[in-house]
Amino acid sequence: MLYWTLVFLLIALVAGLFGFGGIASASAGIAKILFAVFLVLFLLSLVFGAVRGGY
């Protein structure tokens, strides 16, 4: 999932560089959402790993 966040961030940067404002803002929005989902899943895995005892 972090891979797709970086892909959409790269698309947003390239689109912004060439002046495509609509595409850049849409890609940046998708990248933000994917990063938030990734962060929540990461934190949940840390919490559940600590509760189960971990390794």
Predicted confidence (pLDDT) per residue in 17-53, tens digit:
888 878 888 888 888 998 899 999 999 998 998 888 7
pLDDT for the residue 10: 87
* Phi and psi, residue 18, nearest 5°: -90, 0
pLDDT for the residue 37: 92
Residues 6+ apart with CB under 8 A from 49: none
Residue 55, pLDDT above cutoff 80: no
Give the span between the Cα atoms of 9 and 27, in whole angstroms.
Answer: 7
Q: Which pLDDT band, with edges at 50, 70 and 90, does 7 fall under?
A: confident
